[in-house]
Amino acid sequence: MVGSSKKTIRIGDTTLRDGEQTAGVVFSAKEKLAIARALDAMGVHELECGIPAMGAEERASIRALVNLGLSVRLITWNRALIPDIEASISCGVGAVDLSLSVSDLMIESKIGKSREWVKEQLKRALGFAKDHGLYVCVGGEDASRADLGFLCELMGIAQAMGAERFRFCDTLGVMDPFAMYEKVASLTAAAPGLEIEVHTHNDLGMATANALAGVKGGATYISTTVNGLGERAGNAALEEVVMALKVACGIDVGIDTRKLSAVSRLVGKASNRDVPAWKAVVGERVFSHESGLHTDGVLKNPANYEGFPPEEVGLTRYIVAGKHSGTNGIVESYRQIGIRVSRAEAQSLMATVRSTAQRLKRPLGAAELENLYQRLIGSEICRLSAA
């Protein structure tokens, strides 16, 4: 196994580039600045901030990001063409991703070229970029479907000409974690002096798993987007990758995870895509508990049913009063709305809470809980007082 525990793992977030390529998503210049500031403040290592060759408006937004003076490295996406690189240089960035189609399918049917043409184009573009003192990541579009030997050739050229890393793209999200590990491990062994980034898509729901598998195989960079924005089913989600590395792999990448939910809401609003309440890691209700058994366990010790505390990602715990609530859950649900009930009172309320939730097909809100309390407990208190 290629070990990664002693390597520094960095997050290269592409929300402002690949995230904005989500069908129907457009960020304003103001929103881009806000997102960049937020990602920088939480400690993301690199931001892929746009495509200068798109035009003057895109270049203006990239220059505005450069002028913020952020700590994070800004990198732009380019085709492996000299005019694209010149457009990036004009924006004032010091790092570029040079993208080439590398699978035989795309080389032949998308760009109508040959493997030899791809190699020569890489040499021309990379040589120009390095002559201008740029940090270079060579992006292998559709690398997951490319011939492994050809990828090794390209990585050899990239390393020999001074590129800093190679981006292994699962462009269509068709890989499984086992194949990802094996391919990245092979490429790491073939070019040990060249860092590898994994750029994974979520078409089969495995973007985060594939990203982690890439790290296990020796990758030191992971490409992410906030909320998993991206083409089709999206990319590996920043929040999922960072917390999965931390909790499942024991790798802390140095990002302030307490800011994850706030960044998620910011991008959700800017993209006009609400964050689902049950979204992994950052959904507002992922720390909600209703089942009597689970609620009892989490109230005794949150670690019984929570893999990490909600505060770690900027959220709070919430006990739901619903069909499956138990006595302790009823007590806690009322405590959350400022009403103190005894266990005996909770027992009296429980059957009505359950039947009401069953009828409404949802948990009870604060007003409904208060009404039930006044009707069932308050009236009883009044009766006893009158007696």
pLDDT (tens digit, 9 = 90+) per residue, 50-90? 999 999 999 999 999 999 999 999 999 999 999 999 999 99
Q: Report percent pLDDT > 90 for the chain.
A: 93
Neighbours of 23 (CB within 10 A): 7
| Confidence at residue 69, expressed as pLDDT on a 0 to 100 scale | 97
Q: What is the average pLDDT across 204-211?
A: 98
Interior angle at CA 88, CA 83 and CA 90, nearest 5: 95
pLDDT (tens digit, 9 = 90+) per residue, 125-139? 999 999 999 999 999
Question: Where exactly does CATH 3.20.20.70 map onto the chain?
Answer: 10-271
Judged against a pLDDT cut of 80, whether residue 385 lies above it is answered with no
Q: Rounded to two decimals, what is the model's pTM?
A: 0.91
pLDDT (tens digit, 9 = 90+) per residue, 291-330? 989 998 999 999 999 999 999 999 999 899 999 999 999 9
CATH superfamily of 10-271: Aldolase class I (3.20.20.70)
Place of tokens 């990802």: 180
pLDDT-wise least confident of 72-81, 202-211, 233-242, 366-375: 366-375
